[in-house]
Amino acid sequence: MSKQRVLSGVQPTGNLHLGNYLGAIRNWVEIQQDYDSFFCVVDLHAITVPHNPKTLAEDTYKIAALYLACGIDLQYSTIFVQSHVTAHSELTWLLNCITPLNWLERMIQFKEKAVKQGENVSVGLLDYPVLMAADILLYNADKVPVGEDQKQHLELTRDIAVRVNDKFGTKKTPVLKMPDPMIAKEGARVMSLTDGTSKMSKSDPSEMSRINLLDTPDSISKKIKRCKTDLVKGLTFDDSERPECNNLLTLYLLLSNKTKEEVTAECQDMGWGQFKPLLTETTITALKPIQDKYYEIMDDRGYLQSVLREGRRKAETVANETLSRVKNALGYLPLF
Ligand code: AMP
Ligand code: TRP
């Protein structure tokens, strides 16, 4: 039996932080052997809010290098750039025309981001989830490993697939494959260091709110030293009453590879003065091998380009096949 397919992606905007790593990329690394895995750098999504053309290409390289540095293995996985496979844009158009406007207006992420953009909300920002649906559906993905914040976009993707299948397919020969979200139990929602009730995010204006994968030991140490805590004695996992404590313990659990029971036993009698240096050391140690590998890869542009060239070739084969299937189902005049 052939392996199930996985597809996921990250935008080349800003620095990757612990939320991106623990919520998404680390899980990709863990599951990649069991699936036929495709991971893209979603650079078309990156221009849905105003972007800097001077840094887009370099940021795209950076994310691809971080995928490799975090442990994405080309023996199991394909890494490619979304804009290199034109089928993504083309399928988006076709899906646009069957997606009701009010499905998009309901998206939480759109509403949140639109507020931040003020007068300057692009049609692309509203259309963002349809492009994401195209990403997923083009590869007939069975599973989509993402953080909790993407759940609604996955539901929309499924709704779009159902609609295409109902309108243009038959029960026996559906046009599109139905994907399932894959959301990790822990790390799916890493919270801000300065506010345990809001998620760690690239767009938070405060650098102190997040630890980036490429932060220096000094900077990691400073951020953890100043991060928000509470006045309760002893450290416990408690999402509702102690969001900061819960978040920091979860970070420690994930970065040290310990179980919840181990961390509970180790930290229940600790104070912050004892825990913070421990978390700092653990974070620095966990990120060091990723950082070393990242700088090595970024220094070898030729290698990185060869990875993305080969990735594009593999991705295009799968994507173009799906695109043809959809165009046929919609009744387009085929090429002749
Ligand atoms: P983005 O940075 O928006 O391109 O997100 C890339 C991936 O990281 C997606 O799968 C998100 O769900 C995940 N992600 C982003 N922020 C967090 C967070 N604070 N906690 C967990 N996962 C996150
Ligand atoms: N919207 C996702 C995010 O911000 C990124 C993304 C784009 C994605 N296309 C995708 C994730 C396809 C999974 C599958 O996190």
The ligand 2 atom at the shortest distance from the C-alpha of residue 45 is 7
Q: Give mean pLDDT, residues 2-31.
A: 94
Q: How high is the pLDDT of residue 315?
A: 98
Q: Give mean pLDDT, residues 119-142.
A: 96
Give residue 226 CA to ligand 1 midpoint distance, Å: 23
Is residue 14 scored above 80 in pLDDT?
no
Q: How high is the pLDDT of residue 239?
A: 81
Q: How far is CA 124 from the centre of its chain?
A: 19
Ligand 1 probe mutation, 149, 201, 204, 212, most atoms within 8 A of CB: 149
Ligand 1 probe mutation, 16, 20, 62, 144, most atoms within 8 A of CB: 20
Q: Which of 48-52, 113-117, 168-172, 315-319 is the least confident region? A: 113-117
Indicate whether residue 150 lines ligand 1 (CB < 6 A).
yes
User: Could you tell me the maximum CA-CA distance found in the chain, to the nearest angstrom?
Assistant: 74
Question: Is 199 labeled as catalytic in the residue annotation?
Answer: yes
Q: How high is the pLDDT of residue 249?
A: 96
Element (H, E) at 181: strand 180-182
Give residue 331 CA to ligand 2 midpoint distance, Å: 29
Q: How far apart are CA 79 and CA 254, in angstroms?
A: 25
237 and 250 Cβ atoms separated by less than 8 Å:
yes
Q: Give mean pLDDT, residues 277-290.
A: 98
Q: Give mean pLDDT, residues 125-132.
A: 98
Ligand 2 probe mutation, 20, 47, 132, 199, most atoms within 8 A of CB: 132
170 and 62 Cβ atoms separated by less than 8 Å:
no
Res. 242 pLDDT band, cuts 50 70 90: very high
Ligand nearest to the CA of 130: 2
Of the candidates 62, 199, 223, 276, the residue annotated as catalytic is 199
Of the candidates 151, 177, 202, 228, the residue annotated as catalytic is 202
b (16+ CB within 10 A) / e for 75-91 = ebbbbbbbbbbebbebb
Question: What whole-number percentage of the chain has pLDDT above 90?
Answer: 91
Look at residues 222, 267, 269 and name the one whose alpha carbon lies nearest to residue 248: 267
Q: How high is the pLDDT of residue 1?
A: 76
Give residue 166 CA to ligand 2 midpoint distance, Å: 25
Q: What is the pLDDT of residues 246-261, one digit of tens each?
A: 999 999 999 999 999 9
Indicate whether residue 207 lines ligand 1 (CB < 6 A).
no
Q: Which of 127-136, 183-192, 258-267, 309-318 is the least confident region? A: 183-192
Question: Is 143 labeled as catalytic in the residue annotation?
Answer: no
Q: How far apart are CA 239 and CA 143, in angstroms?
A: 28
Is residue 134 scored above 90 in pLDDT?
yes
Q: Give mean pLDDT, residues 113-124.
A: 90
Give residue 193 CA to ligand 1 midpoint distance, Å: 15
Q: What is the pLDDT of residues 33-79, one digit of tens each?
A: 999 999 999 999 999 999 999 999 999 999 999 999 999 999 999 99
Look at ligand 2, atom 13, and give the residue with the nearest C-alpha. Answer: 8
The ligand 2 atom at the shortest distance from the C-alpha of residue 135 is 12
Q: What is the pLDDT of residues 160-173, one digit of tens each?
A: 999 999 999 999 99
Can you give the pTM of this predicted structure? Answer: 0.94
Q: Give mean pLDDT, residues 233-240.
A: 89
